[in-house]
Every structure is written in C-alpha cells, then in structure tokens.
Amino acid sequence: MDINKINGLIAAPFTPMYENGSLNTGMIKNYAGKLKNDGVSGVFVCGTTGEGMLMTLDERKEVAEAWIEEQTSYFRVIVHVGTTSYKQSCELAAHAQDKGAFATGTMGPLFLRPSRTEELVGFCSEIASAAPDIPFYYYHIPSISGIKLPMTEFLSQAAKKIPNLAGVKFTDNDFMDMLECIRLDDGKWNILHGYDELLLAGLSFGVKGAVGSTYNFMAQLYYKLINCFEKGDIDGARNYQAMSIKVINILVKYGGAIVSGKALMKSVGIECGPVRLPLKNPDKTMYDKFIEEIKNTGVIF
Amino acid sequence: MDINKINGLIAAPFTPMYENGSLNTGMIKNYAGKLKNDGVSGVFVCGTTGEGMLMTLDERKEVAEAWIEEQTSYFRVIVHVGTTSYKQSCELAAHAQDKGAFATGTMGPLFLRPSRTEELVGFCSEIASAAPDIPFYYYHIPSISGIKLPMTEFLSQAAKKIPNLAGVKFTDNDFMDMLECIRLDDGKWNILHGYDELLLAGLSFGVKGAVGSTYNFMAQLYYKLINCFEKGDIDGARNYQAMSIKVINILVKYGGAIVSGKALMKSVGIECGPVRLPLKNPDKTMYDKFIEEIKNTGVIF
Amino acid sequence: MDINKINGLIAAPFTPMYENGSLNTGMIKNYAGKLKNDGVSGVFVCGTTGEGMLMTLDERKEVAEAWIEEQTSYFRVIVHVGTTSYKQSCELAAHAQDKGAFATGTMGPLFLRPSRTEELVGFCSEIASAAPDIPFYYYHIPSISGIKLPMTEFLSQAAKKIPNLAGVKFTDNDFMDMLECIRLDDGKWNILHGYDELLLAGLSFGVKGAVGSTYNFMAQLYYKLINCFEKGDIDGARNYQAMSIKVINILVKYGGAIVSGKALMKSVGIECGPVRLPLKNPDKTMYDKFIEEIKNTGVIF
Amino acid sequence: MDINKINGLIAAPFTPMYENGSLNTGMIKNYAGKLKNDGVSGVFVCGTTGEGMLMTLDERKEVAEAWIEEQTSYFRVIVHVGTTSYKQSCELAAHAQDKGAFATGTMGPLFLRPSRTEELVGFCSEIASAAPDIPFYYYHIPSISGIKLPMTEFLSQAAKKIPNLAGVKFTDNDFMDMLECIRLDDGKWNILHGYDELLLAGLSFGVKGAVGSTYNFMAQLYYKLINCFEKGDIDGARNYQAMSIKVINILVKYGGAIVSGKALMKSVGIECGPVRLPLKNPDKTMYDKFIEEIKNTGVIF
C-alpha cells in the first residue's frame, strides 16, 4: 500500500442541516465547490467541527458519501469514524473504505478513556484494520477526548501494530511532542496541525498540512500566511496570524468555533443550518451582534 | 404517571460475553437469579460497569431485553441509554419503554460536554421525552462524563422541563450537593447513591437506594451494613464498610472495578467473560494473584 | 512523649486585623473566650482560614503567641507553620514549641509540589523535627495545596520517620482513604475532619475531632448535631447538617468561607476586620445583602 | 521613568549551595562570568529554577545581592520577589531596588490563588509599588502557580494600575494569548518567552527575549537557533530546537529541569550543589546514568 501524505489546508467541514435538525447533504456539492475554489486540499468529515458523534451511524454514512462524491485527486476525503465503541467505528471505517474515501481517522475513546499508550494503540489498531487498504490517522485532541498521551510514544508503538498508519491529526499545543513526531523515523509520518490560531508555530516546527474549522471560511488568508512563511517573510505571516486570531477570538466569544462558525457559513454563501444538542444555537440578537463584530474585523467580508 | 422510588441495593450488572467478545445474554437468567437471591432490588443495565457505550445499539437492546425478561415488581430494570448522540439515545429509550423497562437513565453527553446546566437539561429533556411513560434518571458521574454541574440546580431546572423526571443516580462525593438534592421539594426526588465504598456516608445523609458494581458479588455484606445502620449500630456498619473497602482497594489495584470485577464474577458462579476494548483483560498470572488477594480478605469467599 | 488526641470541635480562627491591615491581636482574648463558651476544644491557628501564608513570619509568631496565652488543658492550640520553605517552617515550629503550643502542623509545600509520598514525608519530617517535643499534624487539603496523595500511605511511611507524628487534619472528601487512616495501626492516629459541611459523614466514618472555619460562629449547632448522632438520632443530626449547609452555601456565594466568614464574625461579637490581598473584601452593599441572607436562615442570629 | 526592554537570552540561574544545604554565593562571580561569555543578556534570579520560594527572605536577599554585584549594562538582573505574602514580597522588592537591580518580577500568589484578573492585578500592584523606580514583570507560569488567566487582559488592566509595568515573563504554551500580548498597545510590552523547548515558536510569534533554565548551559546552541531564524533559515533553526529538545527530554526523565539541570552545572564548570526539600537529589547511580545520556547526545559536551 502506498500512503501519500496530505499537505496544505484541510477543512473540517460543518455538517449542513435543515432548520428541523435533519441532514441537508444536498448542500455539500456547493460547499465542496467553494472549498476547492479556495485551494483547500481536502476535508476531515464528521469530526469535532462536523458534530460527528452527535449523529447516528446512518447519518454519518450519508454525510461521508456526499463528500466522497466530490473527491478528486486534489481534494481528498478523510472520514472520522470515532465513536465510543470500536465495533461501531469499525462499521464506519469499512463503509468509508468501501465508498472510496482517501483515509479514515479516529479520536480516542471518550468512554472509559485509556490511561496507557498500549490501550490506545489496541483500540486504534482494531479500527484501522477495518479499513486496511486506506491510510489511518489518529486524531489527537486532548481538550475534547481527555486523552493526553505523548504522540511520539503512540507512533512508535502503533507503527508495529497498524500497517496502514499514516500519521496524526495533532490538535494540541505540545509543540515539543509535535516536533519529535515530525522528525520520528526520518519524517515518515504525516503530522497534520490542528490549531488554526497557531498555524505559524506549526509551520516553524515543520508541519506541511493542517486541519481546521476556520479553513472553511478564511482559507485564503491562511494561504497568504503560508506564502509569507515560505518566502521567509515571518513578519508578514505573523500579521495574517494576528488577523486569524482576531476572528477566532470573536468565534470563541459567541459560543465557540462550532456554534458560531457554523452560523457564519451562511455569510460566505453556504447555509449550514443549526447545531445539534447538546450545543445551543445563538438567538437572533446574539447572531446579529456576532456578525457585526466579524464584519468590523474586515478579515472575511 | 405514577413514579415510584426504588430503594435498596441496585446492581450495575456486568454484561456477559463469550471469549470471542460477542454477547452471552443466555447467562442473564442465572445472573438475575443470583441477584434476586441476594435481595438486590433491581439492575441499572448498560451503564459504566455494563460497558454500555462500548456496545452497538443492537447489542444494547439485546442486553436490555434479556434483563427485562427477568423483571418483577421486586426486581426492576433501569436501562441506561446514554450515547454521544441524543438521537441514538432516543432510539434506545423508546425501545426500553416499548419492552417494558421500569425506567431509563442517561449520563451527560461525553462529546462536546455542556458547561451550563440549561444545556444539560436540554439534552436530557429530549431523551426523557422519547420514553415519556416511564421514569427518567439523570446519571451524575463526573469522573467518567467530565460533567460536574450541581445537581440541586439540575433538578430545579429539569423539574420544569421533564415531566417524567424521577431523580439522579448520584456517583460523586459532593455530599453537600447530595444532601440538598435529597431534601429538595420535600424529598420528592429519588437519589440513588453511586459509591459503594461510601455507602455509609450516603445513608447518614439520607439515601434510601444505591446503585453499584460491587452489589453484584457482595450485596449481602452491604445489607448487613444497612441493617446495622438502621438499628443505630454505626460501629457495626463501619466494620462492614471497612470490609467492602478492603475488597475495593484490591479491585482498583488489579485494573479497576470493571475489569477486575467482571473477572471476579466467575468465582461467584456467573461467568461474565472478557471486557472489551479499550479495556484490557488481565493475563492469567495477574488474575491468579488477584483472586488470591480477594480470598485472603475472607470477605467474599 | 505522650501524644494525646484532640477530640471535639476545633476552630480555625480568623486572624483579627485593623482596617489598615495590621494585626489586632488584642482581640484574641475575647475571641478565645467566645470559643471556650461555645465548648470549642481548641484552635488551629494561622491555617487557611487564618490567612497564615498571607502574613510575615513575625506576624505569624505574634498571632501564635496571643492564642497560646489563652491555652488551657481544655482549649489547646495547634500552630500551623506551613510556608513554601522548610527553613521558614522550622523557624515557626521551634517558636511554637518554645512558647508552649500543644502541637504544630503543616500543609504540603505549595511551591514545587511533591508528586510522591516519600518527598512529602521528607519535607514534613524536617519540620516536625524542629518541634520534636510536641505532636505534629500533616494538613491534608488538596483543594488548596494541590497535593493529592493517599494519606494511608503517608501515615504508613511517616510513622517510621516522624517520631512525634500525631495524625492528619483531613480536609478532603475521599472518605475511603479517611476510613482507612482512622483504622490504621489500631486507631492510633488522630484524624481531624476538615469539612464542616460533611461532618455527619465524618462521624459515621468514625472521626472524633474536626477542624473548621464555621466552628467559629456556629459550634453550638454542630454540637447538637454530634449529640444527635451519638444518641443514634441520625435524622436529627441530618437536620442540623442541612442547616449548616444552608449557611455555608451563602458563605460560598458571597466570596467564600474566608472572606465572608471573616466579615460575619462582627455579627457574633468579634470584629475581625478585613482580609488581605490577594483576597478582596466585600463592599458595603454586598455585605448588607450577605448579612440579610444569613439572618433569613435563622440559624445563627 | 524610562523602561528599556530586555532582549536576547536571559538565564534563570540555579542557586549555588554547599553540600550541607547552605548558600554558596561565592560561586556566583564565576557563574556570571560563564554566562557573560556565552552572550547571555541577564538573569532572572530566585525564580522557579533558582528555588526562590524554598529559601528564607534573608537568603534570597543574599543571592540577589551577589548577582547584582555582577550586573553590567549588558548583563542585567531581574529579581523574582514572589512569595505567598504581598508583605514579604514588598520587602524583597524594596531591597532589590535599593541594591540596584534592573527590575523585579513576581508570580501570582500560590496560597489562595485569585480566580479573577482584578485580584491578580491588585496583588501585583502592591508589590510593584514597593520598587516603584524600576520595571516590574509579571511571571506567568500556570503549571507552577496554578493561575491561568489571560495575559492580554492582565496587561490591559494592569497598565492602569502599575506605572512601572514592563511586561510578562510568559511561561505557557498559549501562543494565541502571547501573540496578542506582543501586539498589544503597539508592541509596548516586553514579553519574555519562558519555554526553552519552544523558543522557535516564540520567535515566529515575535518574541525578542526569553528566560529559561537551559540557557545556563547551552545558550550558544540557542543563539545559533536565533541566528538561523533571523537569516530565514527555518530548517536550521528547527535542527537546533530538536537538539535542545533531545537534552530537555533527558532532563525531564531524570527528575525535571531543576533537579537534573542543577546537577548538570558541575559538568560545565559551575558546581551548584544539591537541591532543597521538597526536591530530592539524584543518587550517584542515577546521576552517572544521567550524565552518560547527556554525553551521548553530543549537544553539550
């Protein structure tokens, strides 16, 4: 099996829903079109931003299929298959491979969280083996999963048990661990940086790809950041990072990146509808204030 | 609807599995028989001890049905329907009601955990309304769910939104909050104590019912504790509590109450088989040392 | 050396200060008189409630001396000598012994906190040996010190290194650990319960003495609780506990037990003045609302 | 008052002690000489690495004086005056100014930690005003102090209350907050980066100065890193960062940067002696293994 690394910006798409909460997968064609226009190199679907675990398995399959429809060799689909049960995750992983996804990924188990690396490897190994012909990514996101184990150790142990291991979606600010992962085994592993607000730090530590929710609506800003960085214009890159942080602070203030990010999509032409329980949608007044503040930054529109 | 409180000891049963990891629901008849013999007043199925979220929805339904088969007016079944998705939980709740369960319960959402009581109430309300004709319990277990909100506040708010609210399975050592819950609204709510090792503290604060994993194999010891307590013999009750703690310390030492507790069931005549990923079964050497230490306590056998 | 256990209620006194923040040790004579009238069996001075570490060493010595002046065989003084530096603590401990204190105690080091029991024992051993002729108590309070090590293990190890070890002031809700401490070495150790709001749970687990801040102003209520408990009237004891919790909830609401508790002392005849930085005194409006709410409980005045 | 920023690498020196634990300030002249030779631009004395709060106030003054003796316009001394008591800290701050230190700094109070920015500002304001003629730095180090408040907010509020505010020693990996601090008020504040292992990330986010413990023995490596960065050779900078991380991993493995770092100083010609309680010195066997591993890296000697 040939595992190709993904580089560039990968969006973690919101899952479009109708006002009544049911899926609106018909919107995904346009959504993918917008992302492709923005130069985004792929999507990580049904993850945290995509409200993955708030959906049923059937819904997740439907969403995955709709994105895979839009897949090209320049726009690849990683399907997040994380659930609390490895059996359910295996079902989703097999489906993803069957439908032609580029890769699968899973966060660690939220229920009865492992405290030792070998337990985490055991869990991931089972899931990765259910989609053995496509790459597998571990989704490291301690702030959501509560699992804070060193990824250097994870990669070292998992390399022996997971033949299709591709790398880690690294959503943590332990850059020391991240640098070691990037350099491990002569740079063999695909380390995808997961904090949009710290992309510049990631680049300086050597990441080549990143997954994030704000790449849904301001990928072009981040590509400018990357261009500056690659030309050696760190000051310029820092300016773009500061602009992204200005927006992210507003997202956080209005309910977090999922709730307010999803609401924002309408303004860039992709109506994504409401979020699901236990998340809470902003009311009209709050929404208007939020959009006003975003406008005032001048970053997006 | 008439909501009766459950009193006495309620077991949180392990889910019997074959060596290959598939369900062994055929064992549940004997299991229920043993618990009834021990005077246990009910079961809380597919919860933490029962590895609920490690199973598929179909498996959970199968397990729930098998326990409901054994239900009597003295041995009642509460079905834990917690998942990360309220839709999945509603499916399980509707099934439980349909099959005749006494009640449903759910822990808070593990994915995108609410930080405010109203969000938690919103989530629970949706699930409770899917089994509207039977009582609903919120399962408060911050050490697993990561949701640490005051239950006094939860009950006050939920009382207005959840007509079939029965109470809380309270697995936390915030006895101050617990006492207030017990006394709230003139003692209306059914507060089930969730820490076997602290049952005596719970009794002194006024609980009348308790749910736990060690009631699977040493309920008789706890009934002696309760008898002493009710007679005013606190010293005697404390001795029994100390014996229970001696056993629990060994369970913790050998992998925790689920892993080692499930292994222990064989010794009391109910073979429950292995635990599931991400949990890890003890090897033979460890198992033998574990059983030896349990034997040396003289508490169980 | 003969180590006598302290039983009954021990107040953790507030440190009286003038409006300008300087010490008002002249108030301590009356303060001790009030506590003696209430049947309090001693004081734990310069601890958390006493703002111990917010004072200079000279101030702490002055406060300790003033309390030792009031010491009798029925009203004994434990001096908290905890600082971030064992050298400073040794100085305070030697002073306490020299002036005739009944005992010393220290919480674990707040700076560069130990993560292993042997390190904590090493730190305490050095301090205990600076006041070798009087008993030494370890002050276990993870919520303040951040040191959460099992006390059963601490006592077992410290017994071999600290000849004058008397026991533990146990301010944590791990009652499982507490019960084991109480029963360790045939009940040799003096375990002083530190959560006023959970006194009933402590009694049911076997504590005979307790240290707390609300014993400063409602000791009589807690003695009624204890009387009920000893007569086997658990319902009665629970009612008194519920009354104490009602008051404590208000203290918490208005800035916490130190800030609002200290403000409350004026109403029971002992003006204790303001708290020190980094604590923040309530303004007049807040203070009035606070006293109003306390009055409405009918518990204290 | 003219507040000059400090740039470049600032060492957080270990405090030299004799085998019996008493101070060996006679060593400081040589120590300063070595640091000056390495191009280090100053020292942050009696901080975390310097075991500041493990010393008495008199000891801290002695250490501060010895370093101030070595001060030049290219080698400046910031004296950490943090204690649990603002009164003690004021005494140290006044002393530092009196003896001619360049600046003072304090971490937040470890005892009764503030949870709101205004309380922290109040505490710092009092201390800064005790050395009003020299700059004041807040020492942000949540992993030690337990105080995790946003520094952007701290600077905004403190700017109005602390006339001699110079900036923040920022020892946290919240680079989003750090970037905002750097850019706040047109770059007015001196933000000193505190994680040696993440220096490259700090540089990319715009820091010009850094304080750390490994600048005591491998400053030259970090200056090479900085040179590469400034020339736009990010790959080169990353290589040096990876070398630093290799060493830091070994320090962590052998007891942490203070314990093992202090032991290491002997090998670079500055015997610093043992650490103090509650820290624990490595035994001979462990020390030898540690030095062997450091040697094998080839980074230092």
Min CA distance, A289 vs chain D (Å)?
A: 22
- The pLDDT assigned to C5 comes to 86
Q: Which of A85, A126, A146 sits opposite B53 (nearest CB)?
A: A85
Q: Could you tell me which chain D residue has the CA closest to the CA of A182?
A: D242
**Annotated catalytic residue C139:** yes
Any residues with CB less than 8 A from the CB of C196 and at least 6 apart, and which? C210, C212, C213, C214, C215, C222, C244, C248
Min CA distance, B182 vs chain C (Å)?
A: 10
pLDDT tens figures, D242-293? 999 999 999 999 999 999 999 999 999 999 999 999 999 999 999 999 999 9
Contact by Cβ (8 Å): B162, B136: yes
Verify D-C touch: 3 or more CB pairs within 8 A.
yes
| Domain contains B128 | yes
Quote the number of domains for chain B: 1
Amino acid present at B41: S
CB contact under 8 A, A88 and B146: no
| Domain contains A256 | no
pLDDT tens figures, C51-79? 999 999 999 999 999 999 999 999 999 99
- CATH number, position A231: 3.20.20.70
- The pLDDT assigned to B301 comes to 85
| Domain contains C39 | yes
Give chain B's mean pLDDT. 96
Confidence of residue C2 (pLDDT cuts 50, 70, 90): very low
Following DSSP, what letter does each residue of C67-90 receive, concatenated? HHHT-BTTBEEEEE---SSHHHHH
| Domain contains C114 | yes
Min CA distance, D183 vs chain C (Å)?
A: 28
| Domain contains D253 | no
Active-site amino acid positions of B = 139, 169
- The pLDDT assigned to D5 comes to 86
pLDDT tens figures, C213-229? 999 999 999 999 999 99
Q: Residue B134, CB half-sphere, CA atoms under 13 Å: how many?
A: 22
Average pLDDT of the segment spanning B89-118: 97
Residue A285 has pLDDT above 80, yes or no: yes
| Domain contains D215 | yes
Give the structural domain span for A26: 8-235
Amino acid present at C101: A
- What does the DSSP 8-state code read for residue C172? S
CB contact under 8 A, C144 and D279: no
Contact by Cβ (8 Å): B34, B269: yes
- What does the DSSP 8-state code read for residue D75? B
CB contact under 8 A, A179 and D237: no
Confidence of residue D2 (pLDDT cuts 50, 70, 90): very low
In this prediction the pTM is 0.96
CB contact under 8 A, B87 and A56: yes
Catalytic residue, chosen from C31, C86, C138, C169, is C169
- Where b means 16+ CB within 10 Å and e means fewer, D189-228 reads bbbbbbbbbbbbbbbbbbbbbbbbbbbbbbbbbbbbbbeb
* Tokens, residue C101: 């204190």
Average pLDDT of the segment spanning B27-54: 98
Average pLDDT of the segment spanning D215-226: 98
Min CA distance, C170 vs chain B (Å)?
A: 15
Tell me which of B54, B143, B252 to substitute to probe the interface with A (most A C-beta atoms closer than 10 Å). Answer: B54
Query: Do the interacting molecules here have an ipTM over 0.90?
Result: yes
Contact by Cβ (8 Å): C78, C48: no
CB contact under 8 A, B232 and C232: yes
Q: Which residues of B touch C (CB under 8 A)?
A: 173-176, 179-180, 183, 197-198, 200-201, 203-206, 229, 232, 234, 237-238, 241-242, 245, 248
| Domain contains A298 | no
pLDDT tens figures, D41-93? 999 999 999 999 999 999 999 999 999 999 999 999 999 999 999 999 999 99
Residue B223 has pLDDT above 70, yes or no: yes
Please state, in angstroms and rounded to a whole number, the distance separating the CA atoms of residues D276 and D19: 10
Any residues with CB less than 8 A from the CB of A165 and at least 6 apart, and which? A128, A135, A136, A138, A155, A158, A159, A189
Q: Which of A198, A232, A248 sits opposite D175 (nearest CB)?
A: A198
pLDDT tens figures, C258-272? 999 999 999 999 999
| Domain contains C62 | yes
Neighbours of chain C (3+ CB pairs under 8 A): B, D
- The pLDDT assigned to D3 comes to 52
